């Protein structure tokens, strides 16, 4: 097949006009040694904006994705879709395709689980209600942490509010930014290693939906649920293979195996587990702007996998 339809995927427009091996304009000849027969597509499926704890607005994030040479970026803010509209507009302006998503904080019998949802209906009541409950709890929890910290250090709630964009989902990163602004810690990383650590006396948890319930709610909303960084042991306890199996039985679509918080052994084990359970394998940067060292495109998702995600999702990928 030749001509404009050659790269058409599932009746949808291709995500890039380039052919395999043909470098894009803003790219320095990225490797494309993959089995996928379609066009070269560099897709990073997990990034945060200032709608949650990223440091760039949704529009600037998409512009950064263009500069980084990405063809596709997913906006996956914590427990909110409030950045979607601005990111859609930036997609048209920059030529970067957009996957609309969220990262849902969940628990599984006391262990923290992060679940990505792609391409769901943002107004689906079940999922929306859970995220709103989490956001309210995050706010109360942040206020309580500031109260505790404020007993020992000169930190006030106003200091934190100065770091929060509009009605962004408030998280420990905003407390970290306030501590940095006050000169009380060096950077976010230092704040997380000390004052904001889960082992710190100031730490307070927040409510979050059960992970199995969340997988079902994502599917009910037409979304594609992917387990974010399932073996990120530095963040705390992680769940075992048995729980991944339980989530798969509930409708989980994939595992984010390729992520900087995984050792090579953990990544390999997750790829094997995904194969055994028939799950997709994704990769991403988990970019947070200057809030973390993670660089856009440092891990990516195979275009064939992106195609499968889009086939399962209610919404289409936004093509510029
Ligand atoms: P929270 O959800 O409010 O408990 O905060 C956890 C969030 O903080 C994670 O989703 C990360 O985005 C971010 N985070 C965790 N550890 C670090 C770190 N060491 N440096 C910067 N950000 C971090
Ligand atoms: Fe985050
Ligand atoms: Fe996460
Ligand atoms: Zn994330």
Per-residue pLDDT reduced to its tens digit, 255-306? 999 999 999 999 999 999 999 999 999 999 999 999 999 999 999 999 999 9
Ligand found nearest the CA of 235: 1
Q: Which residues contact 264 (CB under 8 A, 6 or more apart)?
A: none
Residue 173 has pLDDT above 90, yes or no: yes
- Ligand 1 in reach of 289 Cβ (< 6 A): no
- Ligand 1 in reach of 54 Cβ (< 6 A): no
- Ligand 1 in reach of 173 Cβ (< 6 A): yes
* Ligand 1 atom index nearest CA of 192: 19
How far is residue 85's CA from residue 88's CA, in Å, rounded to a whole number?
Answer: 5
Whole-structure pTM value: 0.91
Ligand 1 centre distance from Cα of residue 288 (Å): 10
- Ligand 1 in reach of 83 Cβ (< 6 A): no
CA neighbor of 133 nearest in space, from 227, 206, 211: 206
Question: In the β-sheet with 43-47, what is the strand arrangement from edge to edge?
Answer: 43-47, 72-78, 97-108, 111-118, 224-227, 254-258, 280-283
pLDDT tens, residue by residue, 192-232: 999 999 999 999 999 999 999 999 999 999 999 999 999 99
């Amino acid at each position: 097949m030749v001509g404009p339809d050659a790269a058409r995927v599932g009746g949808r427009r291709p995500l890039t006009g380039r052919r395999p091996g043909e470098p894009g304009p803003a790219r320095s000849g990225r490797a494309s040694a993959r089995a996928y027969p379609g066009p070269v597509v560099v897709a990073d499926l997990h990034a945060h904006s200032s709608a949650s704890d990223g440091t760039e607005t949704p529009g600037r994030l998409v512009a950064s994705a263009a500069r980084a040479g990405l063809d596709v970026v997913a906006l996956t803010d914590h427990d909110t879709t409030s950045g979607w509209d601005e990111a859609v507009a930036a997609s048209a302006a920059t030529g970067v395709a957009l996957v609309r998503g969220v990262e849902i904080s969940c628990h599984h019998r006391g262990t923290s689980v992060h679940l990505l949802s792609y391409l769901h209906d943002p107004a689906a009541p079940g999922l929306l209600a859970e995220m709103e409950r989490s956001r309210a709890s995050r706010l109360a929890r942040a206020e309580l942490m500031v109260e505790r910290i404020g007993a020992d250090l000169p930190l006030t709630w106003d200091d934190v509010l100065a770091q929060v964009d509009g009605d962004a989902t408030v998280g420990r990163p905003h407390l970290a930014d306030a501590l940095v602004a006050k000169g009380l810690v060096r950077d976010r990383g230092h704040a997380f290693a000390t004052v904001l650590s889960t082992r710190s006396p100031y730490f307070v948890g927040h409510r979050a939906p059960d992970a199995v319930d969340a997988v079902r709610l994502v599917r009910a909303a037409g979304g594609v649920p992917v387990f974010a960084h399932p073996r990120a042991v530095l963040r705390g306890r992680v769940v075992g293979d048995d729980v991944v199996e339980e989530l798969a039985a509930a409708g989980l679509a994939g595992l984010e195996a390729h992520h900087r918080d995984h050792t090579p052994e953990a990544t390999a084990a997750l790829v094997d587990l995904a194969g055994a359970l028939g799950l997709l394998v994704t990769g991403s940067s988990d970019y947070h702007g200057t809030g973390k060292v993670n660089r856009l495109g440092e891990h990516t998702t195979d275009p064939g996998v992106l195609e499968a995600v889009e086939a399962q999702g209610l919404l289409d990928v936004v093509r510029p």
